[in-house]
Amino acid sequence: MARPSGPVPTREAILEFVQSSPTPVGRRELAKAFDVRGPDRAELRRVLKEMADEGLLDFGRRRKVATPGALPEVTVVEVTGTDDDGETLARPAAWKDDGPTPVILIVEDRRGGALGPGDRALVRLERRAENRYVARIIRRLTRSAPRILGIYERAEDGSGRVRPTDKKARSEIVVDRRDAGDAAPGDLVTIELLARSRNRLGLPAGRVIERFAGIADPKSFSRIAIQEHDIPDVFPEETLALADKAKPVALGKREDLRHVPLVTIDGEDARDFDDAVFATADDDPANAGGFRLLVAIADVAHYAHPGDALDREALKRGNSVYFPDRVVPMLPEALSNGLCSLRPDEDRACMAVEIVIEADGRKRTHRFTRGLMRSRARLTYRQVQTAADGGDATGVPEGILEPLYAAFRALRRERERRGALDLEIPEKRVILDDAGNVVEIGVREHLDAHMLIEEFMVLANVCAAETLEARRQPCMYRVHESPDPERVNALADVLEGLGIALARGQVIRPKTFNGVLAKVRGQPAERMVNEMILRAQAQAHYAPANAGHFGLGLARYAHFTSPIRRYSDLLVHRALIRGLRLGDGALGDGDDEKFADWGEHISATERRAAAAERQTVDRYLARHLADRIGGQFDGRINGVTRFGLFITLSETGADGLVPIRSLPDDYYDHDEARHTLTGRFHGRVYRLGDPVEVRLVDADPISGALGLEILAGGSAPTPGSSGRVRRRGPPPKRPGSGGRTGRRR
């Protein structure tokens, strides 16, 4: 670094030096770096103190300085798990900030063995980027007491037992009477494992630290997920107060869109309406057969400003979480179901994009505006589809649907031209009564009305990404990268067994997979092949670096259309407001540098929400099937592992496990590449996608696990199968097993 002209470095030079240092720096290091000597050192100390008082620097351990928010060089961290490469990740043990948690990668030594989740260590940190650190262990500390969610029960001797809700838990936890508090049998409780980890029963011991509704209440299933995944579900008073103070928006400098007959189209059970649509034929002679579209989105940025209480809580949550019995919203109800919801016949603030498309669906132009709109009607997908098919049109404004559907058909032609991936994955749907009991379980409909809204939203999202690039604003892209070649090769192996060729080494495009899907459409293997292609995909995520969206076949894509329930969309709105100079609620100073950390954080909260929602549906399914234990069901093998088969039941879409020990007498070899279990002696093969008949052996609503037993299915090995069949006589008997081993090697 070049030495500044004066005897004491400028503030800018000091900040540059501190920010570029991987660790906090002391006054001596600064003095040496800038050759500050004698009485000038006192002036340097004075400048550093002023900068600290103004919040430009933080004084940490041993009076070393760092940029605000930077972690101290030596700190205690707690292990949270591992990344996709198996590297150990941690977070600061005392982290209380509402912002993104720093990402800490631990470089483990070989002396103490691997650290596991919950372990703590004193480490020395080295900053590699903003909010990203590498940690080297100084000393391993006492492991923090793990907390487990479970159902409290009572044993005959009067002591308590807690059965964990986690499917992977291997044993119950014993709770002494003195440690049970007010817990009663059937209560959902959180327990803390005690240091006396084992007792005469050989079980771990714990104490109750929190008690919730009993497991008999079906609404406890979502509570389990909220607790297990640490989903924030109580808004701070400051956040609620700010939402309650919000007022309706006046027209002011906004564009008046109240004359446009916009409508919202959502599911029957939707409560927050954040998008409205309109279409009309383009009257420009140069665009014969084209359309003008308007997509209006709730203007959340008007109410939640960068850094305020609403914003902090929205960032913390990352997204809304949807359970069969409740929603955990990203924003308080006063906004999510009130001022930000595009209710019919009420003036609402909006961010809107007007788009002109050609007859073949290609976009010609678009422009964004900040407006005031008034929805003409709140419509449902089924209502719209019925009217479009010539049925009952009650409640549907006259003349609205025909141009919407005509524009939709044009957009579908454009989608087909670019070759977007056309997967069909059924989505489970659980319908409850007022008491929370399951009334119906099935698959969500996917109507043209659904696809109409999807296509309009995709186009609006593309417009947002293009505008931010053109205005040189940061963009939170929705990134979906090309599939990993190894996954594609593994998929090719399985497809080969089904007689479907997928050329190896070619450049994979969505059209490649669509060709495979076309070959199995209407065939028994259709659903299985759709799921296999889905598994071969990279996981979509949020990031400020654009890598395109493989599945949609788009070069640039961002989420703009759901700011009520996704923080990513709120960031895109703020960037558009700043780039287009549309008024208040724009990105703040310094926000650009936070996009990478925010992208990682909201990608993680999205994965958290998906896991919580999936596990809750599994628990409802298990409860629904609990009174049908012993019943027989048709299903299909949707997973083959070294410990058994995962089966999807055709009737409900529920997934259950057939343990390998319960398979017909044999030793089974697992071929991971071909997704098969092959009996060594009798030659029966179970492969991914095979139809089977099973018996329901167990249904546990607490964990959501189903235990199944194969009654029929599987097949003899085919030529070329890697499972070697060796007929050396029957498998050895196990004492008391009657010849059934079900083992693997």
Q: Tokens in use for 512?
A: 């490649």
Is residue 20 predicted with pLDDT exceeding 70?
A: no
Is residue 66 predicted with pLDDT exceeding 70?
A: no
- The pairing of beta strand 743-744 with beta strand 667-671: parallel
Q: Of all residues in the chain, what percent carry a pLDDT higher than 70?
A: 85
Residue found under tokens 């079906």 = 218
Is residue 585 predicted with pLDDT exceeding 50?
A: yes
In the listed set 537, 553, 570, which residue is the last one of a domain according to the structure?
Answer: 537
How many degrees, rounded to 5, is the angle at CA 506 between CA 505 and CA 510? 130
Burial class (CB in 10 A: 0-12, 13-18, 19+), 63: exposed
Q: Tokens in use for 49?
A: 């103190």
Per-residue pLDDT band at 5 (split at 50, 70, 90): very low
Is residue 390 predicted with pLDDT exceeding 80?
A: yes
Is residue 458 predicted with pLDDT exceeding 70?
A: yes
The reply to whether 97 and 54 lie within a common domain is: no
Q: Residue 625 in contact with residue 666, Cβ under 8 Å? A: no
User: Which of 297, 254, 299, 255 has the alpha carbon at shortest distance from 277?
Assistant: 297
User: Which of 444, 465, 456, 457 has the alpha carbon at shortest distance from 405?
Assistant: 456
Instruction: Pick from 146-160, 216-230, 380-394 the range whose average pLDDT is largest.
Output: 380-394
Across all residues in the chain, what is the average pLDDT?
85
How many degrees, rounded to 5, is the angle at CA 94 between CA 89 and CA 96? 100
The reply to whether 274 and 127 lie within a common domain is: no
The pLDDT assigned to 741 comes to 34
CA distances from 347 to 13, 319, 343, 363 (A): 51, 25, 8, 29
Total structural domains in the chain? Answer: 6
CATH of the domain at 646: 2.40.50.140
The reply to whether 102 and 170 lie within a common domain is: no
Contacts of 527 (CB under 8 A, 6+ apart): 426, 636
The reply to whether 249 and 378 lie within a common domain is: yes
In the listed set 611, 646, 676, which residue is the last one of a domain according to the structure?
Answer: 611
**Measured between alpha carbons, how far is 397 from 395 in angstroms, rounded to an integer?**
6
Residue 401 covered by a domain: yes
Q: Tokens in use for 164?
A: 């964990």
Per-residue pLDDT band at 338 (split at 50, 70, 90): very high
By three-state DSSP, how is residue 327 classified? Answer: strand
Q: For residue range 618-646, what is the model confidence (pLDDT) as tens digits? A: 999 999 999 899 999 999 898 888 889 99
Is residue 713 predicted with pLDDT exceeding 70?
A: yes
DSSP code at position 500: -
> Looking at residues 586-609, what average pLDDT do you find?
93
By three-state DSSP, how is residue 402 classified? Answer: helix
Helix residue ranges, H only, 109-219: none
The b/e string for 153-177 (b: 16+ C-beta within 10 A; e otherwise) is bbeeeebbbbbbbbeeeeebbbbee
The pLDDT assigned to 170 comes to 66
Beta strand residue intervals within 363-496, DSSP E: 363-374, 377-380, 428-432, 438-443, 477-479
Q: For residue range 414-438, what is the model confidence (pLDDT) as tens digits? A: 999 999 999 888 888 888 888 888 8
Residue 557 covered by a domain: no
Residue 595 covered by a domain: no
Q: Tokens in use for 286?
A: 């140069």
By three-state DSSP, how is residue 207 classified? Answer: strand
- The pairing of beta strand 428-432 with beta strand 160-164: unpaired
Q: Tokens in use for 98?
A: 């509402």
Residue 579 covered by a domain: no
The pLDDT assigned to 724 comes to 39
The reply to whether 447 and 381 lie within a common domain is: yes
Q: Residue 76 in contact with residue 120, Cβ under 8 Å? A: yes
Comparing 221 with 715, which gets the higher pLDDT?
221
Q: For residue range 339-370, what is the model confidence (pLDDT) as tens digits? A: 999 999 999 999 999 999 999 999 999 999 99
What range defines the domain where residue 61 resides? 11-66
CATH of the domain at 178: 2.40.50.700
Full 3-state SS string of 241-254: HHHHCCCCCCCCCC
**Measured between alpha carbons, how far is 381 from 626 in angstroms, rounded to an integer?**
33
**Measured between alpha carbons, how far is 376 from 297 in angstroms, rounded to an integer?**
15
Burial class (CB in 10 A: 0-12, 13-18, 19+), 113: exposed
Phi, psi of 48 (to 5 degrees): -65, -40
Q: Tokens in use for 200?
A: 């005469």
Per-residue pLDDT band at 456 (split at 50, 70, 90): very high
Provide the residue type at 629 as one letter: I
User: Model's pTM, two decimal places?
Assistant: 0.74
User: Which of 530, 554, 532 has the alpha carbon at shortest distance from 481?
Assistant: 554
Q: Residue 144 in contact with residue 162, Cβ under 8 Å? A: no
Q: Tokens in use for 441?
A: 């379980």
Is residue 731 predicted with pLDDT exceeding 80?
A: no
The pLDDT assigned to 463 comes to 98
Q: Could you report how far apart the first and last alpha carbons of the chain are, in Å?
A: 62
Residue 583 covered by a domain: no
Beta strand residue intervals within 141-202, DSSP E: 147-154, 160-164, 173-175, 187-193
In the listed set 25, 49, 66, which residue is the last one of a domain according to the structure?
Answer: 66
**Measured between alpha carbons, how far is 31 from 28 in angstroms, rounded to an integer?**
5
- Using only C-alpha atoms, what is the Rg of the chain? 30
Q: Residue 535 in contact with residue 595, Cβ under 8 Å? A: no
Per-residue pLDDT band at 723 (split at 50, 70, 90): very low
**Measured between alpha carbons, how far is 529 from 197 in angstroms, rounded to an integer?**
46
Task: Region of 559 please: left (phi>0), alpha (psi -120 to 50) or beta.
Answer: beta
Is residue 225 predicted with pLDDT exceeding 70?
A: yes
The reply to whether 155 and 280 lie within a common domain is: no
The pLDDT assigned to 74 comes to 77
**Measured between alpha carbons, how far is 75 from 61 in angstroms, rounded to an integer?**
10
Is residue 242 predicted with pLDDT exceeding 80?
A: yes
The pLDDT assigned to 727 comes to 32
The pLDDT assigned to 51 comes to 73
Residue 468 covered by a domain: no
Q: For residue range 100-156, what is the model confidence (pLDDT) as tens digits? A: 678 898 887 655 566 766 678 888 888 777 778 888 888 777 655 667 888 898 887
Is residue 465 predicted with pLDDT exceeding 90?
A: yes
The reply to whether 86 and 166 lie within a common domain is: no
CA distances from 298 to 74, 274, 459 (A): 45, 5, 17
Q: Of all residues in the chain, what percent carry a pLDDT higher than 90?
A: 46
The pLDDT assigned to 110 comes to 56
**Measured between alpha carbons, how far is 556 from 461 in angstroms, rounded to an integer?**
9
Comparing 220 with 377, which gets the higher pLDDT?
377
Is residue 239 predicted with pLDDT exceeding 70?
A: yes
Residue 228 covered by a domain: no
**Measured between alpha carbons, how far is 448 from 722 in angstroms, rounded to an integer?**
44
The DSSP annotation for 540-579 comes to PEEESS---BTTTTBS--B--S-TTTBHHHHHHHHHHHHH
**Measured between alpha carbons, how far is 330 from 310 in angstroms, rounded to an integer?**
9
Of 45-49, 115-119, 699-703, least confident by mean pLDDT is 115-119
User: Which of 4, 8, 30, 36 has the alpha carbon at shortest distance from 18?
Assistant: 30
Of 543-547, 644-648, 721-725, least confident by mean pLDDT is 721-725
The reply to whether 79 and 49 lie within a common domain is: no
How many degrees, rounded to 5, is the angle at CA 353 between CA 446 and CA 603? 60
The pLDDT assigned to 77 comes to 85
Provide the residue type at 590 as one letter: G
Q: Tokens in use for 532?
A: 């296999």
The reply to whether 78 and 125 lie within a common domain is: yes
The reply to whether 279 and 257 lie within a common domain is: yes
Contacts of 100 (CB under 8 A, 6+ apart): 131, 315, 594, 597, 598, 600, 601
> Looking at residues 70-85, what average pLDDT do you find?
73
The pLDDT assigned to 682 comes to 84
**Measured between alpha carbons, how far is 309 from 580 in angstroms, rounded to an integer?**
25
Per-residue pLDDT band at 86 (split at 50, 70, 90): low
CA distances from 61 to 66, 266, 398, 646 (A): 10, 54, 70, 53
**Measured between alpha carbons, how far is 511 from 515 in angstroms, rounded to an integer?**
6
The reply to whether 260 and 379 lie within a common domain is: yes
The pLDDT assigned to 734 comes to 38
Residue 225 covered by a domain: no
The reply to whether 247 and 207 lie within a common domain is: no
